[in-house]
Amino acid sequence: MFTLFIQIFPQNITFRKTIGTGSCNSVVQTDDNGYIAVLNGTDNKLEVVRTDKYGDLIWKNDYGLFGSLSPSVVKTSDGNYLILASKKVYSNQGNLFLLKINLQGDTLWTKTFESTECELSGSLQKTSDGGFIIYGIVTDSITINQVKKQVLFKLANDYTTEWKQTYSIEHLPTFFNLFAIIEYGDGYAWLTNKYLTKINGSGEIEWSKAIVTNQYSVAKTLDNNILLVHQ
């Protein structure tokens, strides 16, 4: 079950609600101070829920998708919401899938990243140029018996693909959703719990350094260095 837990510091907990049947991977606040969250439900079925500012359920939809690794939601510049998930193509293969919805949960448009390989969702983040960067993995099947590669997509602000790069599984995190990427220099600093990797603005690797301890977050400091947070 997903528990929406909101705490306003320095006060006590404002509310705590249990919603849905799965684990929450991503949540954003809406313009009316409520929340939209994406969940991995039963059998990795994607669930999208909207609550009011008190955590009370307004609607819940599944859109016929599955969450696979870590479905993500971000708020777009036009006040709508973009969701990254996966869509089953054949009985045992999936593709990365974008779904744009409005506040009422209506589907505005969808986009499938077609591939001859099984590519499953990992993370979706906004970039400073108004575009997005998508992380996923390439597997043998939707059951993820074997991971073959990792993949990054850079999207423009009109959602067209600017570039796509694939990477060896040497950079694969132990837990697939342990992933973070920040804009750094002329490209990005990309973190898994095994490596910190610098890629340029086209997604090509410039350097990669092994990290011994499990890393959970990465940030750029004011003096243009990189701060890592680990367990």
Cβ-based neighbours of 34, under 8 Å, separated by 6 or more: 50, 51, 52, 53, 58
State yes or no: pLDDT of 177 exceeds 70: no
Q: Is the CB of residue 178 less than 8 Å from the CB of residue 216? A: yes
Q: Is the CB of residue 48 less than 8 Å from the CB of residue 61? A: yes
pTM: 0.82
Q: Kindly indicate the confidence band of residue 115, based on its pLDDT and cuts at 50, 70 and 90.
A: low
Give backbone dihedrals phi and psi of 117, rounded to 5 degrees, phi first.
-105, 170
Q: pLDDT (tens digit, 9 = 90+) per residue, 57-83?
A: 999 988 876 655 567 899 999 999 999
**What are the structural domain ranges in the chain?**
2-177, 178-231
Mean pLDDT of 79-92: 78
- Based on C-alpha coordinates, what's the Rg of the chain? 18
Q: Is the CB of residue 55 less than 8 Å from the CB of residue 61? A: no
Residue 103 one-letter amino acid: L
Does the structural domain 2-177 have CATH classification 1.10.20.140? no
Residue 152: beta bridge partners? 135, 165
Give me the pLDDT at residue 153, please. Answer: 87
Q: pLDDT (tens digit, 9 = 90+) per residue, 128-175?
A: 999 999 887 776 655 555 667 778 889 999 999 999 888 876 655 444
Q: Using the 8-state DSSP alphabet, how is residue 214 labeled?
A: P
* DSSP-derived 3-state class of residue 79: coil
Q: Which residues of 182-204 are buried (b: 16+ CB within 10 A; e: fewer)?
A: bebeebbbbbbbbbbbbbeeebe
| CA–CA gap between residue 118 and residue 88 (Å, rounded) | 9
